Amino acid sequence: MQRILERRRWFFLQISGRRRIGKTALIQEALRGAGIARTLYVQIPDSDPAGVVAACNGYLETFGIDDRVTSLGELAQLIGRLTLDGYVVALDEFQYFHRKQLSDFCSLLQAEVDRLAARAAEVPGGLIVLGSLHAEMTAMLENRDAPLFNRTTDALELGHLDIASVLEILRTHADDEPWRLLFLWNLFEGVPKFYRDAYEQGVLDAERKPLLQSLFFSSSSPLRNEADNWFLRELRGRYDMVLQYLAKHPGCTNADIEAAMAALSGPGEMRQVGGYLKILSERYRMIERRLPIFAPPRARSGRYYIRDNFLRAWLSALQRPVSAVAFRPVDTLVDQAGARLADVEGYALEDLAGQLYEERSRLRIGDFPLSERIHGYWDRADVEIDLVAVNEDEQRIRFGTCKRNPERLPGALDALKRSADRFLNSHGRFNGWRSEYVAIAPDIGPDLRAELAAHDVIPQSLVDLIRGL
């Protein structure tokens, strides 16, 4: 970002990423680091042209700019003038210009962008557009028929903080005890805003119950309305029903979802499920369809998951207790939410372990360099493996089981080895490879480690997996 700003010539930068991931903070830090004082930030409202114009004029006044606009066309022209004068203009929630009533703005902006690009060396400023709806940003900036197609000079997509960064936050302001890491990662994943909220409330280092009460159940809780405001407010129709089902049944199939919707709303709802899944996946990127490792892209064995940990935790464990806070004792509701979150953490542990394997391999630490992205494996014959790791160079393949309760690991070993044998029988490419087995839990005591090792299974706790990160 700073390299882009330091060019001191025209740029048109697209920044994408989920809400609260830090897009605006990134711009603020980069502008400060590059010493750029002339800036204009506008958050585009989900409104009609008059609403957008009114909002823009408010931001112009706030930033001490004397100009005012009366139309979307004048706004586009103002952006051109300001960038020629050395301003960096940032338009947040840019995806709202994909709405039909605002779509003319993209054509109007195209004329200004083309004029500025033709004089790039003479233009000291630039334009940044930020968006959180991936499909709509793509439609405006990357589709061949779009007015702004091929106009951006740079693009950044912000993902979650990696686990090493989360650990740095915890080690600085709390501790990296494995249960705390799993609890917070299940809630916040790698969204920096949420960790900051917990820090500012003084509960980042607190036990589970006071943290939940402070962040979700008090009248001033910063995350009490987060999901409704930033995820669910744009949804209509049956989308919320699909999300609720996915939150409580992660890893369900298309047939499972159709049956659930038919049970709730009648058989006619089954015909609509494909459309709901497509929009939730492609437009909002709230869900994803995962395939077992080595499955072809069109395989029918796909399973659906909510992509975002916070949304999954909210829908499966927090939404109903929080909504009942005016009618029931808070202590009871917090306990209820905590118990439900513990159930969700079992699924989160599989994802956390897989990501830790990937990060360790990328940083060249640990005992298993990867040649394939971590995936689980399943098939229609009830073969189920939580984690399959492949090292092509050394011809090693590792099969893993993940349990939130470490005491359940010994009972899962026979099923793990049976499933691994059936996997190997159906994937001949691994003939002659070295097979390894691993049992993963947040914490594994010495007696349990010895028991697992006696069964030729490698014990790995989160303490083991975060070592060196």
Angle at 281 between CA 269 and CA 144, to 5 degrees: 120
Res 331: pLDDT: 95
Res 439: pLDDT: 98
Q: Which helix (H) or strand (E) holds 23?
A: helix 23-34
Residue 233 above 70 pLDDT?
A: no
Instruction: Find out whether 210 and 337 touch, Cβ atoms under 8 Å.
Output: no
Res 240: pLDDT: 82
Please state the separation of Cα 165 from the chain's center in Å.
15
Res 383: pLDDT: 86
Q: Where in the chain is the domain with CATH 3.40.50.300?
A: 2-157
pLDDT band, residue 249 (cuts 50/70/90)? very high
The tens digit of pLDDT for each residue in 51-81 reads 999 999 999 999 999 999 999 999 999 999 9
Spell out where 8-144 has E strands.
12-16, 39-43, 88-92, 126-131
Q: Which two tokens mark 146?
A: 């779009």
Residue 12 above 70 pLDDT?
A: yes
Q: Which of 39-48, 102-111, 167-176, 253-262 has the lowest mean pLDDT?
A: 253-262
Q: Exposed/middle/buried for 171, CB within 10 Å: 0-12, 13-18, 19+?
A: exposed
CA–CA dist 372, 394 (Å, integer):
13
| Long-range contacts, stretch 170-179, CB < 8 angstroms, 24+ apart | 170/204, 173/199, 173/204, 173/205, 174/204, 174/205, 175/205, 176/466, 178/442, 178/443, 178/461, 178/462, 178/463, 178/466, 179/442, 179/443
Res 213: pLDDT: 96
- Mean pLDDT for 270-297 is 85
Average pLDDT of the chain, as a whole number? 92
CA–CA dist 34, 205 (Å, integer):
34
Residue 85 above 90 pLDDT?
A: yes
3-state helix, strand, coil in the chain (%, to 5): 55, 15, 35
Strands 303-306 and 88-92: unpaired
161 contact partners, CB below 8 Å, separation of at least 6: 169, 190, 191, 192
The tens digit of pLDDT for each residue in 382-406 reads 789 999 999 999 999 999 999 999 9
Q: Exposed/middle/buried for 142, CB within 10 Å: 0-12, 13-18, 19+?
A: middle
62 contact partners, CB below 8 Å, separation of at least 6: none
Q: Where in the chain is the domain with CATH 3.40.1350?
A: 366-466
Residue 311 CB coordination number (10 Å): 23
Topology of 2-157 in CATH?
Rossmann fold (3.40.50)
Res 53: pLDDT: 97
Residue 236 above 70 pLDDT?
A: no
The tens digit of pLDDT for each residue in 406-461 reads 999 999 999 999 999 999 998 999 999 999 999 999 999 999 999 999 999 999 99
Q: Which two tokens mark 387?
A: 């984690």
Q: What is the CATH number of domain 366-466?
A: 3.40.1350
CA–CA dist 315, 246 (Å, integer):
9
- Mean pLDDT for 160-173 is 96
| Long-range contacts, stretch 331-335, CB < 8 angstroms, 24+ apart | 333/217, 334/209, 334/212, 334/213, 334/217, 335/209
- Of residues 404 and 237, more confidently modeled: 404
Res 399: pLDDT: 97
Three-class secondary structure assignment of 408-441: HHHHHHHHHHHHHHHHHHHCHHHCCCEEEEEEEE
Q: Phi and psi dihedrals of 13, rounded to 5? A: -105, 130
Residue 237 above 60 pLDDT?
A: no
- Mean pLDDT for 138-146 is 89
Res 72: pLDDT: 96
Instruction: Find out whether 221 and 271 touch, Cβ atoms under 8 Å.
Output: no
331 contact partners, CB below 8 Å, separation of at least 6: none
- Residue 95's nearest CA partner among 127, 41, 136, 141 is 136
In b/e form, how buried is each residue of 96-111, taking b as 16+ CB within 10 angstroms?
bbbeeebebbbebbbe
Res 91: pLDDT: 96
Res 111: pLDDT: 95
Compute the chain's Rg from CA coordinates. 25
- Backbone CA torsion sign across 427, 429, 431, 437: negative
CA distances from 236 to 233, 246, 280 (A): 8, 17, 11
CA–CA dist 129, 274 (Å, integer):
31
The tens digit of pLDDT for each residue in 95-130 reads 999 989 999 999 999 999 999 999 999 999 999 999
CA–CA dist 346, 302 (Å, integer):
20
pLDDT band, residue 37 (cuts 50/70/90)? confident
pLDDT band, residue 19 (cuts 50/70/90)? confident
Q: What percentage of the chain exceeds 90 in pLDDT?
A: 74
CA–CA dist 369, 312 (Å, integer):
30
Strands 39-43 and 434-441: unpaired
pLDDT band, residue 9 (cuts 50/70/90)? very high
CA–CA dist 302, 389 (Å, integer):
19
Residue 11 above 60 pLDDT?
A: yes
